[in-house]
Amino acid sequence: MGIIDKTTYTLTCQHCDTKEVSSVLDKGSNWSGSSWQSGTTFELFDTTWNGGQKQEPTLEKATCKKCKNPATFQKQY
């Protein structure tokens, strides 16, 4: 089983200048098809995800663990 696709998320807290990058992977093969992870884990941010499996997950909410403020995010394919 290999990686078919990935989406990279960069989370930033504007309040305390915390920044972290992580990727969500779509794994599969020609025989088994595609299967997205249900999200990714960040050490510095609490996150809420929607989707996974057959549907690419989307980041619904991200909060800085240090100062509890909402984070901004960018995603890149």
Provide the pLDDT for residue 1.
66
In sequence order, what E strands does the chain have? Answer: 2-13, 18-29, 33-36, 45-52, 55-64, 72-76
Predicted confidence at residue 36, as pLDDT, reads 92
pLDDT (tens, 9 = 90+) of the chain, 77 residues, equals 688 899 999 999 999 999 999 999 998 877 777 899 999 999 999 999 999 888 899 999 999 999 999 999 999 99
Q: Round to whole Å and give the CA distance between 75 and 63.
A: 16
In angstroms, the Cα distances linking 2 to 17, 25, 40, 41 are: 35, 10, 17, 20
Q: Which residues pair with 21 in a beta bridge?
A: 10
Structure-block tokens of residue 38 = 């249900």
The predicted structure's pLDDT at residue 53: 86
